[in-house]
Every structure is written in C-alpha cells, then in structure tokens.
A and B are shown apart, each in its own frame.
Chain A
Amino acid sequence: MSNKLSAMFKKNIRSSVMIIALAVVTILFEFLTGGVLLKPLNISNLIMQNAYILILSIGMLLAILTGGNIDLSVGSVAGFVGAISAVLVVSMGMPVFWAIMISLLVGLLIGIWQGFWIAYRGVPAFIATLAGMLVFRGLTLVILQGKSIAPLPKSYSFLASGFIPDIFGGTNINILAVAMGIVASLIYLFFQIKSRAAKSKYDFEVTPAWLFNIKNIGIIAIINAFTFALASYRGIPMVLVIVVVLVIVYSFFTMKTIPGRHIYAFGGNEKASKLSGVNVKKTLFWVYVNMSVLAAFAGIIFTGRLGSATPKAGVNFELDAIAACFIGGASTTGGVGTVVGAIVGGLLMGVLNNGMSILGVSIDWQQAIKGFVLLSAVAFDVYSKSKVKS
C-alpha cells in the first residue's frame, strides 16, 4: 500500500508542487512588501480582484479536461452578459434579482448555442469559441453603443464587493467571520474523520494517526488564521463564499460523480469512453453549457466590482483562466487536472499580480512575468513527465 501512496503522490506531483510554489511566492511577497501582502485589507482585495478569474478557471478546467479544448469566448461572454445586466438594471430599471437571473439565463442560452455546434455538429471547440469571442464582443459593443453604463446600484455590487454583515454585531472584530472559520473547521474535520472511518471499515490502509492529526491541525490553523485576518477588517467577502462553494461543489462533481468521471474518461480516450457507454456528445455539450453559465456569472461579478458595464470588460479573461488551469497541472491533451489545481494556478497568478502592484511594478511587466510563470510551470510538467517515463 505504500505503493499506493507513492503512486498518488506521483499523480499529484504537479498540484503539490504548485501549492508549495504558491506558498513560497506568498511568503516571498509578504517579505518583499514588508507585510502588506497579508494585511487583512489586502487579503480582502486579493480575493475580490481574482474571484471572476477563479470562477472562469473552474469552467475552463472542465473544458480542458475534455481533450485540451479551450473556450476562447468566455471573456466576451462575460462582457456581453455584464452589459445586458447593466442595461436591464440601469436603463430599464429592472429589479436586481431578476436582472441577474435573466443574465444567467442568457449565459445558459449562449452555452447551448456553442455546445450545440461543438458537440452535435462537430465544429472544433477552438473554432466555435473563437467565433463566439468575436460575436459576443461585437454584440457587447452593439448593446452598449460603445459607451459605459453606470452607476450600478449597491445591491447589484453586493455579490462582487459586499461583505457578509456581522449578525453578532462585533465592534472591533467581525464575530461572524471568526464563527464561520470555526464552523468550517468542524465541517472539515467531520468529513476527514468520516472518510477515515469508511476506509478503515474496508480495511484499507490509512495514513498513520500522527500524520492525520498533524495535517488536520495544520489545515484548521490556516483556515482560522485566514478567517481571523478577514474578521479584523470587514469580515467575509460575499464573493469568497461564492468561490468556496463553487470550488467545493465542482471538486465533488468532478471527483465523485458519474458525470464528472465521464468528463475525465472522455478527455483520456474518446473512443474507449464511447464503447464503455459514455454519452460523449452529451458530456461535451454540458461542459460548454456550464462554461458559458460560469462565464455569465463571472461577468456579473466583474461588472459589480467595477460598478459599471464597459465595452472593454472581459478582454483577455479567457487567457488568464486558461493559464490558471495549465499552471495548476491540467494536461494539454485532456483527462488530467483538478479544480483545486486550477484555483491554485489562479491564486498564484493573483498573488503575483497583487504583490507586484504593491511593489510598484508596472502592468506591462506583470504581464510579461505571468507569461514566464506559465511557460516554466508547463515546461516543468513536461520535464517531470519525461523523467517518470524513462
């Protein structure tokens, strides 16, 4: 069974390396910025600045899993949906809730449209979504008539930049945030113990108790340090809750459910999946529907954060999301990658951006450095794979 451990480690080597890389980069910038990076205020900023890319990365990961297909349209879709929601709320005075629902529905329809061409008409995803990128960027300009729409009401921006109000009414510290950290820790611990008990029931070898305890104590410490830091600023950002929920839901979906397994199988070998009873067209179709819905959601978050819909909104988002997935260990040929990996990849880029901004490095340099990070992450992957083979 120690084989199992080493096999699992090998399989996950990229994501473990990336988590370590994320920790190293964070510590490095914490040091370079003289402690500004991990100040409560900045942590909140960091989350809000990157939430929409993280949301997109989740959807993009599923697309990449299906065989290295990427969705180039997500930036334009995000911009387009943001524009629609702004028109509905600002120009037409629609209630925020309904405007957001309709916007998400538009995302769904866009997904059905693109998924249809890709899954049922065999248009390569690259081409179909390149077309989508042009179409929806164009339509964004049409809707906005080249101008920005502002200001969006506070209730609209709540998802993107609001904080969960402290129901306990803490003065210096947000008690709700601390409580949520404790609750999250307990839930985490509960599932860890449950899974360990199930494994013991099957007589599978489990990690030794001391290692199990150390790991759990470490993770609980990180969770609570994090929520405590947030508590000393304005509490838990709404968007953090959204991202965490999405990560948990999609991790569960990809790792533990049949449709999730089918996505991996399809990316690993389409023919073999077909002959094993996987409905490959349906799988591909829903992956792209899902991507567009998440893109729509990201568009709403981004528009909310900005407080306005602009013609340029969403430009190059797709590239950041794609980069996050590959930095996070997804394979360019499909079938390999995890949601958590994509999030780690996204956060790594986010911390780099944020840290460099604090240091006063210009946007141009940030872009260039991100490019190098992507290249070196994937080059490392290719290198480590070639070592495993020989």
Chain B
Amino acid sequence: MERYVLEMRNITKEFPGVKALDNVNLKVKEHQIHALVGENGAGKSTLMNVLSGVYGHGTYDGEIFVNGELCEFKGIKESEAKGIAIIHQELALVSTLSIAENVFLGNEQVKTGIVIDWDMTRNKTKEMMKKVGLTEHIDMHVGELGMGKQQLVEIVKALSKDVKLLILDEPTAALNDEDSDHLLNLLLELKGQGITSIIISHKLNEITKVADEITVIRDGHTIETLVKGVDEITEDRIIKGMVGRPMVDRFPRRSLKIGEVIFEVKNWNVHDPKDDSKLKIKDVSFNTRKGEVVGLAGLMGAGRTELAMSLFGRSYGSKITGTVMKNGVEIKLHSVKDAIKNGIAYTTEDRKSAGLILSDDIRHNITLASLDKLSKNLVIDENEEIKVAEEYRKKLRIKSSGIFQRAGDLSGGNQQKIVFSKWIFSDPDVLILDEPTRGIDVGAKYEIYSVINELAEHGKTILMISSEMPELLGMCDRIYVLNEGQIVGELTSEDASQENIMTCIMQSN
C-alpha cells in the first residue's frame, strides 16, 4: 500500500449562511499528480485554503494529516514549514523586482541579521531555474516575462522553500498551449524528483493527460476519486462527476440560418501604439455573415485581441488603416462610441480588469454602455433602468441576490453573464467575443454557448476569439487562423480540426 503524503478527513467549513465544504475527504498519494476538479464554487479553492492555513485551524472542522502526522496549521508559514506550497491563479509576484529577488521574497537568504546574502540568493536561484528550464537572466524584472515564465518563477519560488507538496490553482488558465505543455511536462519531471502536486484545473484534456488520480468535488461534497488504470478516465466521465449527470453534448446545437455578409473588414493594418514602426496586424481581411459564428484561432500573441480591439473603435493601436463595411456600407469607427452606435459590441478577455466595474452593482454595469437609451436630455430614467436590469438578470439567469448586488461578489460565470447582458442590451448586430468562457466552469460555459447560439439565431453575426480549440471547433461555422498578425487560413466547420489549424500556423512560419 502506498503512503499518503496528505490526508484531509471530513473537512467542513462554514461561512455565514453557506456550508462551503461538507465532510470533504481528500487523499493524495506520494509522488503523484493529483487533480482536483469541480465547477466554480464547488469548494476547491476553499479546500486548498484550509490546507495551506489561509483558513487556520479552528475555523473549520476535520483533520489534516501530512505524512501521517496530524497538523493544525494556523497560517501559511506553518504549512510551508511542512513543505506545502500553493501557487494561486493570480500570481504573487512583484513585477518590479528581479527574478532572484522574487524567488526569495519573504524567505531572504541572510548572512547575519537582516543583511541579504546576494551571492547565495543568486546562486541558488540560478541552480533552481535550471531545474525548471528557465534561461532568463536572474536580474531580469519579473514584469518583463510572459505569463508562462512568470508561472515558472512561482514554481522556482516554491522549490526554494523545499516543497514536498505543490498545489497549483488553475496554472494554465492564462497560458498558451506551448507554455501549458511545458508546465505540465515540468510537473511530470518534478514528480520524478519526488515532488507531489495537486492541480486544480478546468482544462480536462490536461488533467486526463497528467493526473494519476482525480478527485471530483461538487457543491462542497467529495463525489469520487478516479484512479488512472483502474477507472475509465475521459473528459466525459469527469464532467459527469462534476455536474452530476452525463453531458450529452458540450456544445449546444443551433439551427443554421446563415444569411448574407453583414460585417466585412478589408486590408486592416494596425501598428503597435508603443512603437509606431512595428506592424501588429498586417493586411487582414475577413467577413462574417448574418447568423454565423466565426472563430478566430491563433496562438497567444498572434494578435487576435489586438485585431478585435482595433476594430472596436480603435481601442488598440496606432496608424490604423483599412476599411470596415457593414451591410455593404463603409462605416467609420473612430471611438468606442462610434462602434456602439454602429451596432458593434466587444466583450473583453479580461472580465475583471476591463469588463466590469466590480465595485458597482449589476444594474449599473448592465446599462453602462447604453445609457443613451434610458435617458432624455442626459437625465437617466432610473425606474426604466431597474426594469431593464431586472429583465436581463432573469433572461440570462444571473445568479445573485438581486440587481443591486455588487458585480465583484459574483462568480466568474455570472460576471460574464453581466458582460453579455450589457452588450446584448446595446443591441448590436456584430458581437466580438474575446475568450468568452475563460475561467468559467463547465455548466456556465454551456449557458454562455446557448446565449451565443440564441444571438446567432436572431440574425446577429459573431466573431469569437478563443484559445480553447475544442470550443472553436464545437461552436464555429467558419474559422480564421491568425498568426503573427496575419490571416494564414480560413477553414469551414467541415475542414476544421485541431491539426488543420496548427498546420496553418506552422506552414506560415
């Protein structure tokens, strides 16, 4: 019988009004990669916070055993001392400090007292960076690194604390495929070196690839633990555990009624606003038809968001040239206001920092882009506003206590529904959706897909940017492939496959 490096027994954690965890059990074997899956709000993060001591001993019921020893962590420092390190989705790095400084932040290597031993700091950092395959200079500021490399710095930081059990919360959510692969391979390598990992992820394809065991949590309960080689491990099987029923189809069908071309972009060129001489989008031309969902595929940095934002009232870029046609007529989009007036909507990939006013309530967020519709002589009709907000809250089933709840208090899926409400209310003909399901759980994803389908069925045209290829393949009628600012392929839904998209990208390089 293998040893358990971690056993959490009957963990129950209550918040005022909610039982976030109800007798949850988690057993993690040594030298394994253990995946923790569940919908948003299922209790995964709460469980990990209990484990790492963020919610200290006494605030929950149940027992935690690390290597068979009962532990009562009062804070993160205590769990770290036992070799447990947690890497949160929002990285805890200081972007203005160097790699070496970040790695030993809070754990500074000292000669005596408070004087930092820089030689030791740098040597140790260098050594550990080799382990994870980071070749950057140790004095480089973390802010200059891409997301993938920053994630590696976090892992180096964990390694520097002599980690035995590494917990990663959505480590690949913000990474492109290449960086994700690198990270997952690194976890496998670390496993070989005796480091156990717990990985929380929504990306089921990754989990099925690397996990030895998978524990499914739903509504604060442990549902099951699937073991590689014993149980069937497929994405559908995991989803069944997560949502409590088999999901017949991850992508809802829509009735196809594709009409004529409504939105057309010709010879679109955009320069980098930070460096006028750099062309970010090169001579891009594409079109979308009425009732059609068109995908925009590409690797991270291909310029998809830049293309979308430059079209949306020049929210990105400088020295923009090219024409945009709607219903065969050229339209000028010099500002976001122009874009909204011309029936174009853009939902950002970065919901929290660019999509919502988290401190304000649902109502004000829904109406912000279309206040003109609710007002006369600049004076807002507040009663009408409440009516509209209430209507959308019901229509898109935004789970909340009411339209006066703060947007910041809702889950990712519900926040995205607010963003969708806002833009649907602006009554657009063209919707550009940038990563519409990023960081959203399976159930909410399905709802968002249904909303997209309904929009298409109502004759809107949709341009969908996504880094999740299965999503593009499942939802789109046509896919454009973008690479280094250029369109390098156009695939119909019959021709589209993960291989074909990658081939387009590779051949263009």
Which A residues are closer than 8 A to B by beta carbons? 1, 3-4, 7-8, 11, 198-199, 201-202, 204, 256-259, 261, 264-265, 268-269, 271-279, 331, 333, 335-336, 390
CB <8 Å contact, A268 and B357: yes
Known: A7-B401, A258-B378, A265-B368. A272 touches B337 (CB 8 A): no
Alpha-carbon distance between A268 and B364 when the two chains are bound, in angstroms: 11
Q: Which of B5-13, B231-239, B346-354, B464-472 contacts A (4 or more CB under 8 A)?
A: B346-354
Contacts of A8 in B (CB 8 A): 404
Known: A256-B382, A258-B378, A279-B335. A274 touches B401 (CB 8 A): no
Contacts of A1 in B (CB 8 A): 402
Most buried by B among A204, A268, A336: A268
Known: A202-B387, A258-B380. A278 touches B368 (CB 8 A): yes
Contacts of A199 in B (CB 8 A): 383
Interface size of B in residues (CB-CB distance below 8 Å): 40
Q: Which of B37-45, B258-266, B369-377 contacts A (4 or more CB under 8 A)?
A: B369-377
CB <8 Å contact, A275 and B348: yes
B226 within 8 Å of A by Cβ? no
CB <8 Å contact, A269 and B353: yes
Known: A3-B402, A274-B315, A276-B369. A258 touches B355 (CB 8 A): no
CB <8 Å contact, B380 and A265: no
Chain B: interface secondary structure? Answer: mixed
CB <8 Å contact, B357 and A275: no
CB <8 Å contact, B371 and A4: no
The A/B interface has a contact count, at CB < 8 Å, of: 101
B505 within 8 Å of A by Cβ? no
Known: A202-B383, A204-B383, A256-B382. A335 touches B357 (CB 8 A): yes
Contacts of A273 in B (CB 8 A): 357, 368
- A62 vs chain B, min Cβ distance (A): 16
CB <8 Å contact, A277 and B337: yes
Q: List CB contacts (< 8 Å) of B368-405 with chain A.
A: 368-369, 371-372, 375, 378-380, 382-384, 386-387, 401-402, 404-405
Most buried by B among A7, A271, A276, A331: A276
Q: List 30 A-B contacts (CB under 8 A).
A: A1-B402, A3-B401, A3-B402, A7-B405, A8-B404, A11-B361, A199-B383, A201-B383, A202-B383, A204-B386, A256-B379, A258-B372, A261-B380, A265-B364, A265-B368, A268-B359, A269-B354, A271-B353, A272-B353, A272-B354, A273-B357, A274-B336, A275-B348, A276-B369, A277-B313, A277-B336, A277-B369, A278-B336, A279-B337, A331-B359
B340 within 8 Å of A by Cβ? yes
- B393 vs chain A, min Cβ distance (A): 12
Most buried by B among A204, A277, A331: A277
The one of B312, B368, B386, B404 that contacts A3, using a Cβ cutoff of 8 Å = B404
Alpha-carbon distance between A118 and B346 when the two chains are bound, in angstroms: 28
Contacts of A198 in B (CB 8 A): 383
B34 within 8 Å of A by Cβ? no
B117 within 8 Å of A by Cβ? no
CB <8 Å contact, A275 and B386: no
Q: List CB contacts (< 8 Å) of B312-339 with chain A.
A: 312-313, 315, 335-337, 339
- B352 vs chain A, min Cβ distance (A): 9
Contacts of B84 in A (CB 8 A): none
Further 6 A-B residue pairs, CB within 8 A, beyond A4-B402, A268-B360, A271-B353: A7-B404, A257-B379, A275-B354, A277-B335, A277-B369, A278-B336
- B470-504 CB contact bits vs A (8 Å, 1 = yes)? 00000000000000000000000000000000000
The one of B346, B359, B405 that contacts A335, using a Cβ cutoff of 8 Å = B359
B358 within 8 Å of A by Cβ? yes
Q: Name the residue of chain A whose CB is nearest to the CB of B355.
A: A272
The one of A257, A276, A335, A336 that contacts B336, using a Cβ cutoff of 8 Å = A276
Contacts of A271 in B (CB 8 A): 350, 353-354
Q: Name the residue of chain A whose CB is nearest to the CB of B312.
A: A275
Alpha-carbon distance between A1 and B390 when the two chains are bound, in angstroms: 12
